[in-house]
Amino acid sequence: MRAIFTEAASLLGRHVESVTRVAGGDLSFVARLSLSGGDSIIAKRGDRVVEEARMLAAIAATGTAVPQILAVQDDLLLLEDLPSSGRLARNWAHLAELLDHLHTPSQAAYGWDRDYGFGDVTIPNGHSDNWVAFWAEKRLRCHVPHLSAQLAHRVERLADRLGEHIPNRPPSALLHGDLWGGNILVGQDRISGLIDPACYHGDREVDFAMLGLFDQPPQIFYDACGLAQGWEERQPVYRLWPLLVHVRLFGGAYHQQAGACLEQLGL
């Protein structure tokens, strides 16, 4: 951690008093740096932080709250330390407003111009004008070589029949890509910002699938978001992708959860 003292001080032109590791950085090093004068910032170290900064800038351009990027260089990203002592349970209405900004329909092709990743699991991207083809290749078949034979076969079957479950050309929206409660910072009475994105363009229902996987949004939240008819039937398709990532990263019960999604889809 000592290297961060020197690098951050050089980038900011300020003295760093202390470095405290932040809990929850499973896939990268995250720390809170106390600076001279009493304020603090967040430092992230990893080989994908330059791309993360691009993603945060893309989200900010939609008018959605994210931490300000203070500096980025090589493998070090310095961010504004946003308030995070509040509770998401009291701020679902505000989250619906933020996602309305984030998910504004655009003319962007599905995907992203660079690959990304969670830990050792690559997120292949690229661009496509066909959402079914993108999801089949970049979010389902990409996992097949890394799964058990039985699970891989079921995922392949879904990829082959994917057009029966999701639309070819839904409105293209900027997705956060890893939207769950741990990546939504909440201040005293409102959401202060979204963090740790894995952005690409696609069907906005993907972000809701991820959110519903680890959190329990109330029905009033979904109603406020104005999702397209049939969105609930499509959720198992979109929820399967983060579950497959978790199967590869952590194993365990995620195998059963992935299987349950496939059962919901009749596979």
| pLDDT tens, residue by residue, 131-152 | 999 999 999 999 999 999 999 9
Give CA separation, 81 vs 126, 136, 185, 197, in Å: 32, 38, 10, 16
Crossing angle (nearest 10°) for helices 254-264 and 231-250: 160
- Please name each of the domains of the chain with its CATH number: 1-80 (3.30.200.20), 88-265 (3.90.1200.10)
What pLDDT is stored for residue 2 in this prediction? 62
237 vs 119: which has the higher pLDDT: 237
The model's confidence at residue 25, banded by pLDDT at 50, 70 and 90, is: low
Please compute the mean of the pLDDT values over residues 2-9 and round it to a whole number: 76
The model's confidence at residue 63, banded by pLDDT at 50, 70 and 90, is: very high
Please compute the mean of the pLDDT values over residues 245-263 and round it to a whole number: 96
What are 184-201's pLDDT values in tens digits? 999 988 999 999 999 999
Write a three-state SS string for the chain.
Answer: CHHHHHHHHHHHCCCEEEEEECCCCCCCEEEEEEECCCCEEEEEECCCHHHHHHHHHHHHHCCCCCCCEEEEECCEEEEECCCCCCCHHHCHHHHHHHHHHHCCCECCCEEECCCEEECCEEECCEEECCHHHHHHHHHHHHHHHHCCHHHHHHHHHHHHCHHHCCCCCCCEEEECCCCCHHHEEECCCCEEEECCCCCEEECCHHHHHHHHHHCCCCHHHHHHHCCCCCHHHHHHHHHHHHHHHHHHHHCCCHHHHHHHHHHHCCC
Give CA separation, 5 vs 12, 49, 164, in Å: 11, 18, 54
The catalytic residues are: 178
User: At residue 114, does pLDDT exceed 70?
Assistant: yes
Contact 37, 26 (CB under 8 A): no
Q: Where are the alpha helices (DSSP H) in 49-140?
A: 49-61, 92-102, 131-135
d(CA 144, CA 51) in angstroms, rounded, equals: 26
What pLDDT is stored for residue 27 in this prediction? 62
What pLDDT is stored for residue 102 in this prediction? 98
d(CA 39, CA 30) in angstroms, rounded, equals: 17
Please compute the mean of the pLDDT values over residues 21-43 and round it to a whole number: 83
What pLDDT is stored for residue 95 in this prediction? 97
Nearest 5°: the CA angle 213, 60, 8 is 95
The model's confidence at residue 224, banded by pLDDT at 50, 70 and 90, is: very high
| This prediction's pTM | 0.95
User: At residue 222, does pLDDT exceed 70?
Assistant: yes
Average predicted confidence (pLDDT) for the chain: 94
User: At residue 1, does pLDDT exceed 80?
Assistant: no
Which residues are registered as beta bridge partners of 34? 18, 40
Share of the chain above pLDDT 70, in %: 97
Q: What 3-state class would DSSP assign to 140?
A: helix
d(CA 252, CA 140) in angstroms, rounded, equals: 19
Element (H, E) at 212: helix 205-214
What pLDDT is stored for residue 145 in this prediction? 97
User: At residue 24, does pLDDT exceed 70?
Assistant: no
What pLDDT is stored for residue 38 in this prediction? 85
Q: Which residues contact 128 (CB under 8 A, 6 or more apart)?
A: 109, 110, 111, 134, 138
